[in-house]
Amino acid sequence: MSIRNIFVVGLDEPNRQRLEHIRGAENYRFHGVIEPAEVNETEIFPIEDMLSRAETQLKGFGEPIDAVVGYMDFPVSTMLPLLCKRLGTRTTSLESLLKCEHKYWSRRVQHEVIADYIPRFTAFDPFDAQALQHIGEAGLYFPFFVKPIKSSGSRLGFRIESPEDFAHAVARLCEDIGTISEPFNYVLEHANLPDDVRLVDGGHCMAEEIIGGWQCTVEGYVFEGDVVPYGIVDSIRYPQVLSFLSYRYPSLLPAHIQEKMRELTRTIMAHIGYDNAAFNIEYYWDEVQDRIWLLEINTRVAQSHCDMFEKVDGVSHQQITVDLALGKLPDMPYRQGAFKVAAKYFYRVFFTDATVSQVPSAEEIETLQQAFPGTTITLQVEVGTRLSSLPEQDSYSFALAYVWMGADDDVALEENYARLAEQLHFAFEDIVG
């Protein structure tokens, strides 16, 4: 078989190593396009310039380009249909992607086929002095949740309990939403949008009824019109706050709830017309009301889940991203990994702000990784880091480290992480002035 050239937007070294272990990798050459720091370590996204430079690099490659893929959220996922169209490589259409990523359009489309499984919602302009009144007129009352039309992680998401909360949230949104709205609007200009959706551009926000419960993510893909959910990952939050404690795979949800989520997934993704690409859908199961809620649809595999699939199933689910981009039915193994269960833990602090004055040394990290086989620890800060400068944080905490672990059962997994976390030593200094 001839070598296939696969370009990966924002390719970094850990993901290169992971990709080189997928099935068939001996026949692939992975190339980076756009530096990872441009899409992963910043909140400034000159998307038009990045697309132009990427297109120039790829068209100057001199060999066949067999696939262009990505594994990150905005702006990478949103750029891919534009870049693939220019290069003639495979992915889903821009419109089908935006029916997932444009939160208002997505809710409109979801309402057409699974209305009983989504919250009440409305769009609003954060710069409109009458925004709160309009939200009430749409039938939403305290408490509710607000976020940008194109959200990125948990950034700029707020639970609103009062007019004061709304005023605080709107002030933050008006200050920071431009970093998302300007590049997202560039993408919207290239899409065929319904008139009422076009009026709700990237500078708008969503207000939604509060939903909650047991949160999870259904990972799936569509190949030639066939929607295939292949794994469910639980998302565990810290008590009483929105911040994630861990992701856990496989899910511990009841079997009939998992099956209903897979059914909903097949219904909505087929209705959207999404095709030949990976996705994931976040859901809640409200155990008290025995009700399932669809939270949001993401147009990529979850990078945070790659290591867990590798540990449990035997290979990163980036296998699916690559196979689809090459026009192949995904060759994803099942339960062939070294561990029965796996997790990604978020080691966090709940500060307003601070400067990091101490982090675990490389030797301390290596010792912990050796003490817990299969563990990987990646620090997100260094000495001198100001916590408020960290990109892609939620509104309530700061993630200092990510910890991936595997075990033979859930009890061992939790006990091992608790022991490890006690040995991760950070120190901080207050911000002066």
What is the enclosing helix (H) or strand (E) of 285? Answer: strand 277-286
160 and 195 co-located in one domain: yes
pLDDT of residue 52: 96
Residue 227 covered by a domain: no
Does residue 239 fall inside a structural domain? Answer: no
pLDDT at 257 over 70: yes
What is the CB neighbour count within 10 angstroms for residue 355? 18
Count of positions (residues) in the chain:
433
pLDDT at 403 over 70: yes
pLDDT grade for 325, boundaries at 50, 70 and 90 = very high
Pairing mode, strands 144-148 and 158-160: antiparallel
Q: Is residue 264 part of a domain?
A: no
The per-residue pLDDT for 125 is 97
C-beta of residue 162 within 8 angstroms of C-beta of residue 189: no
Are 9 and 54 in contact by the 8 Å Cβ rule? The answer is yes
**Are 57 and 125 part of one and the same domain?**
no
Residue 365 parent element (H or E): helix 362-371
Q: What is the mean pLDDT of the chain?
A: 94
Region 240-245 average pLDDT? 84
> Structural domain of residue 138, as residue ranges?
120-209
Q: What pTM value is reported for the model? A: 0.92
Condensed to tens digits (0 to 9), the pLDDT of residues 180-192 reads: 899 999 999 999 9
Number of domains forming the structure of the chain: 3
Strands (E) located in 129-252? 144-148, 158-160, 205-209, 214-223, 226-237, 244-249
Whether pLDDT at 77 is above 70: yes
Instruction: Give the CATH number of the domain where residue 150 resides.
Output: 3.30.1490.20
- 340: left (phi > 0), else alpha (psi -120 to 50), else beta? alpha
Average pLDDT over residues 60-78: 94
The reported pLDDT for the residue numbered 238 is 87
Between the alpha carbon of residue 197 and those of residues 40, 104, 201, 204, the distances in Å are: 28, 8, 8, 11
Is 352 contained in some domain? yes
Question: Tokens 């097949």 correspond to what residue?
Answer: 266
Give the pLDDT of residue 394. 77
- pLDDT at residue 44 is higher than 90: no
Which of 158, 192, 209 delimits the end of a domain?
209
In a domain, 330, yes or no: no
Q: In this predicted structure, what is the pLDDT of residue 393? A: 78
CB atoms within 10 A of CB 143: 12
Q: What percent of the chain has pLDDT over 70?
A: 98
Reported as half-sphere exposure (CB side, CA atoms, 13 A), residue 368 has a value of 23
pLDDT attached to residue 191: 97
Amino acid occupying residue 173: L
Confidence (pLDDT) at 433: 53
- The three-class DSSP label of residue 220 is strand
pLDDT tens figures, 112-149:
999 999 999 999 999 999 999 999 999 999 999 999 99
More confident residue, 363 or 152: 363
pLDDT at 388 over 60: yes
Q: Is residue 105 part of a domain?
A: no
Helix axes 178-188, 76-87, angle to 10 degrees: 30
Quote the pLDDT of residue 154: 64
Instruction: Tell me what pLDDT residue 51 has.
Output: 95
Position 292 pLDDT exceeds 90: yes
Question: Do 356 and 423 have their domain in common?
Answer: yes
Which residues have C-beta within 8 Å of that of residue 380, sequence separation ≥ 6? 390, 399, 400, 401, 402
Sequence-ordered strand ranges (E) for 333-430: 341-349, 355-358, 376-379, 398-407, 427-429
* pLDDT score of 242 more than 90: no
pLDDT tens, residue by residue, 327-341:
999 999 999 999 999
Q: Is residue 82 part of a domain?
A: yes
Q: What are the CA-CA distances from residue 154 to residues 73, 209, 391 (Å)?
A: 12, 17, 11
Average pLDDT over residues 280-308: 96
Total Cβ atoms within 10 A of residue 127: 13
Q: Could you tell me if residue 244 is inside a domain?
A: no
Per-residue model confidence (pLDDT) at position 38: 87
pLDDT given for residue 153 in this prediction: 62
Closest to 203 measured CA to CA, from 148, 166, 147: 148
Give the mean model confidence (pLDDT) for residues 356-373: 96
51: nearest Cα among 183, 176, 203:
183
* Residue among 265, 210, 277, 274 at smallest CA distance from 232: 265
Residue (of 42, 20, 26) closest to 10 by Cα position: 42
- Spell out the alpha helix ranges (H) of 9-130: 13-19, 36-40, 47-59, 76-87, 94-101, 103-114
Query: Same domain, yes or no, for 142 and 85?
Result: no
Task: For residues 76-103, give the mean pLDDT.
Answer: 96
Separation between Cα atoms, residue 103 and residue 387, nearest integer Å: 28
